Structure 1
Amino acid sequence: MRYELYYWPGIQGRGEFIRLALEEAGAEYIDVAHQPEHHGMGMPAMMALLENSDLACPPFAPPFLKAGDQVIGQTANILLFLGSRHGLAPQEEAARLWVHQLQLTIADLVSEVHDTHHPIAASLYYEEQKDEALRRAADFTGMRLPRFLGYFEAVLERNPHGDRWLAGDALTYADLSMFQVIAGLRYAFPRTMKRFTSDYPRLAALHDRVAARKHIKAYLASKRREPFNNDGIFRHYKELDAG
């Protein structure tokens, strides 16, 4: 099956978690918003599907994935769908739900990262809420981020199959997502993350392990991988990185 991924062009955002899963699986997919409009793709195609009133299960917002006639929204939900179909999640129900739970916790972390630079409203520019962002980022780097990283470090440590992966004895989409989170945090908060390096060695090793995988390594070196920038979720503002 050839998938169609719908997400905003020019940023990694939440769409990147899905791209990583598709790339690791070697799945055939089209990144619709990046394709030429004269081929029926691009932003007009994404908005047309998003605004299609005939869809029985319409997505709220990008990212969403088209698989045949099925349109699936929400990052964690898309990964749940892809995971069981491409060997990126366990087959046993309890283990599959555990991976999904980890992904939902990652989603909570990603939302808190976003709120460090947009704590008041997404419709306002960063400069319009800078004072509030400074307070929010200080709480995030000082209190919330260590709690999240400590939790995932402990998940790795307690895995009865060893500390290579978050769940079980094989890579899952949660590992791919954690790689993206660590990479994004290193971009957004380099001083803070440098200080944390020795505190979370298993997470650092997980990041490197995922980055070295054949398909992921090729993807990271390709033009398909959007660079981090200050339009996405992970943004670097020096004043927010207390270190």
Structure 2
Amino acid sequence: MAYELYYWDGLQGRGEFVRLALEEAQAPYVDVARGAKEEGLGMSAMIARLDSDAPYPPFAPPFLKDGDLIVPHVANILFYLGPKLNLAPRDEALRVIANGLQLTIADFLTEAHDTHHPIASGRYYEDQKDEAKARAEDFLAHRLPKFLGYFERVLAQNPDGPQHMVGKALSYVDLSMFQIVAGLRYAFPKATKHLADRYPHVSALHDAVAARPNIAAYLASQRRLPFNETGIFRHYPELDRAAR
């Protein structure tokens, strides 16, 4: 049976981290909210699943349905899918380390989102532009280098070499790091202009993932939604600045 991925239509968002794993593994899946209503799919199908009176309903997208099991939260979904898709280390300790790295990526993602919505997610960006500018300045000056510096160090200190975040083979964490770099380059082209010079291992990992045949085919397909100003990574020129 195909996996069912539930996430908002029209944006990459957090659902993209799951899509990348499914696409790399060539696993059959249905992107439910993007499907046709007459086929029992679409946004209404996702809302119905959220509002279900079944035990343990998910709080919010993304969530994955595998048979009767509903798995919520990106890191939790990838922790579940990793061994099934051969995208996680076989060693249990390394799988726990991979999960920790994915959770750190989730923290970073939240901070990237908050550069344009620092006050409230339910308010328009235009209603919090001054606060967003202050938040983005701090993010670019302090938080971005702190996180990317950490990921660069993780790669450099991997006993199996800097080609992967954990272990000696591709994992879902590598795919997620690709998405982080791609998103940052879209949102902050000035600040990330010299990212490859400052974080060479992180940049090389992004390029290696992008060149993988299944990922390259996905990126060139219509299944890959473009970055836009409704997602987590948004390009507002007034929030971007060259790195100091």
2:2 partner letter: R
Give the equivalent residue in structure 2 for 1:84.
83
Quote the sequence identity (%): 61
Cα drift, residue 196 of structure 1 = 3.0
Q: Which runs of 5+ in 1 are unaligned?
A: none
SS in structure 1 of the partner of residue 182 of structure 2: helix
Matched residue SS, 2:238:
helix
CA RMSD of aligned residues (A): 0.7
1-structure distance, mates of 2:237, 2:2: 41
SS in 2 for 1:13: coil
Aligned pairs for 1:84-233 (under 5 A) are 84-233=83-232
Q: SS state of the match for residue 193, structure 2?
A: helix
Are 1:32 and 2:32 matched, yes or no?
yes
The SS at the match of 1:192 is coil
Q: How many residues align?
A: 242
Deviation of 1:195 (Å): 3.2
Q: Which residue in the other structure is 1:20 paired with?
A: 20
Deviation of 1:92 after TM superposition, in Å, equals 1.5
Secondary structure, in 3 states, of the residue corresponding to 1:112?
Answer: helix
Equivalent position SS for 2:64: strand
**Structure 1 length normalisation: TM-score?**
0.98
Aligned-residue offset at 1:16: 0.1
Scaled by the length of structure 2, the TM-score of the pair is 0.98
For 1:43, the aligned partner's letter is: M
Give the aligned partner of residue 60 of structure 2.
Answer: 61
2:46 equivalent to 1:46:
yes
Indicate the SS of the match to 2:115: helix
1:8 aligns with 2:3: no
Return the offset for 1:90: 1.0
For residue 197 of structure 1, report the CA deviation from its aligned partner. Answer: 2.8
Q: Which runs of 4+ in 1 moved over 3 A?
A: none
Secondary structure of the 1:71 match is strand
SS class of match (2:114): helix
